[in-house]
Structure 1
Amino acid sequence: MRALLTLLALLLALPAAALELMPTTLQLPAQGGRAELWLHNPGPGRWQGQVQVLAWDQHLDAEQLQPSDRIRVSPARLDLAPGSTQRVWLLPAEPAAAVGEQAYRIVLAPALAGLPRYSLPLFRGPAATPLHARLQGRVETQASQPALRLSNAGTLHGRLHDLRFITADGQSTLLTAGLAGYILAGHERRWPLPARADGYAGGRFQARLQDGSEVDLAAADPAIAASAPGGL
């Protein structure tokens, strides 16, 4: 009996594996509609927690998140046993059409320390269309630290993957592998850059879009603009 209790205690103490989430970016129509998030717990442990909705704003060098009641969640509390799957509904609290694109973060906050925490973007507004993110970029230097500053004058958010710098002679350096970050509509963001002997002079920056295509973002000269195709 003691051995059985010890085995049971060890099984209960196993950490939860990472939840499988689908999709990883959520979209709500501008008017009405709903979105669904599917969660699967492959085990070995149980994942318990709650779903939080945070309004998402950006400053030049920081993200700002505040609790919001404009998106309703069902269920708000989660208890996923190993091997179980759960669907979470996300519905706008207001049926009227949103003005512009609204940005949120959907946070899966664990009840117990040690369980993984998740944060997913949710956008309410038109899906990716020819009305795309419009980006302008330039290189800045502050206290000897170079940075890429991008502004989004478009009506939709921008999403950057695999940010790289390409020199005038075509040599490519990967600066950020995978997701580099988001730029919300009407906002600016700044990415610190590793120092280079050439100061990023004479080259250009490039990123991959969610559809797999690539776009030039900015050259090292100030205020050189690039307009990204739909879906960035």
Structure 2
Amino acid sequence: MSGRRLAHAVRAALAGAALSGVLALAPALAAGLQVTPTSLTLPAGKSADGLWLSNTGDRPLRAQIRVFHWIQENGEERFEPTRALAASPPMLALAPGARQLVRVIRLGAPPAAEEAYRLIVDELPPGDRDRPAGLQFVLRYSVPVFLAPTGDATIAPDLRAQLEFDGAQARLTVHNRGSQHAQLADLSFVDAQGGRHAIAPGLLGYALAGQGMRWSLTGSADLLRGPGTLKARVNGEPIERTLALDSPAR
């Protein structure tokens, strides 16, 4: 498959779900593939790190590991084939209760600015001879991997947000002008009277360094049109941040 066709296939497979961490692709019969940790950051002075893949089920399983360059453009995700990062081994088999280390290896020099990748781990369906009656549980994990830049300067996100409205639909765009990715979680709106309204509990997504992302919100557009502030937890910090808002597009 050509690089262009592969990238298109990955975009189609991951559309709307790339940030969920783990995707259940069919109903479960039993526990199976587990992946830890759920994200990696590779420092400039370290050329490799690892993920543990475990089989918590009662049947053997096979898994495939692929790496893609993760890009955000015009508020959308794009995944491209890459030779900057590799996973070894790219295919493996795990007996029940077994686990194996998968090395994630930077193939070149550390980047001048933070780079983002996605490690896609797929649990493959069993072969026909091993397939029990009924449906199978196939998992896809999407693990963020960040390559830290060279230099001793502290890197940090620098976020600007904008709300847009299309009738009753509100959308949030976050531009990250900083040098580090921003993982956004527990988005809330605090109105002019100090009332707090949960907009997106849990993980919202990432705004990559020097890039930006757009999300459709389920919160009331009328509420978000009013005076108030948006708050979110960034990169797991215990204290939430106020997102600086540009003038909303109505």
RMSD: 2.3
State the match for 2:104 in structure 1: 90
Match of 1:197, SS? helix
**More helix as a share of residues:** 2
Alignment of 1:131-142 (within 5 A): 131-142=155-166
Q: Which amino acid aligns with 1:25?
A: S
State the match for 2:225 in structure 1: 200
Give, in whole Å, the separation in 1 of the partners of 2:85 and 2:224: 45
Shift of 1:155: 0.7
Shift of 1:189: 1.3
Greater Rg by CA: 1
Shift of 1:126: 4.4
1:25 paired to 2:27: no
Deviations 1:186-214 (A, max 9, x none): 11212222333344321111111313221
Match of 2:222, SS? coil
Give, in whole Å, the separation in 1 of the partners of 2:84 and 2:154: 27
State the match for 1:214 in structure 2: 240
Identity score, percent: 34
State the match for 1:185 in structure 2: 209
Aligned mate of 1:116, from 119, 139, 144: 139
Alignment of 1:156-195 (within 5 A): 156-193=180-217, 194-195=219-220
Give the direction of change, closer, same or farther, for the CA distance of 1:45–1:55 in structure 2 (3 Å limit). Answer: same
Whether contact under 8 Å (1:16, 1:46) holds in the other structure is no
Q: TM-score, normalised on structure 1?
A: 0.81
The gaps in structure 1 that reach 5 residues or longer are 1-13, 224-232
Shift of 1:139: 1.5
Give, in whole Å, the separation in 2 of the partners of 1:117 and 1:57: 19
Whether contact under 8 Å (1:16, 1:47) holds in the other structure is no
The gaps in structure 2 that reach 5 residues or longer are 1-27, 126-135
Give the direction of change, closer, same or farther, for the CA distance of 1:79–1:171 in structure 2 (3 Å limit). Answer: same
Q: TM-score, normalised on structure 2?
A: 0.75
Give, in whole Å, the separation in 1 of the partners of 2:58 and 2:242: 44
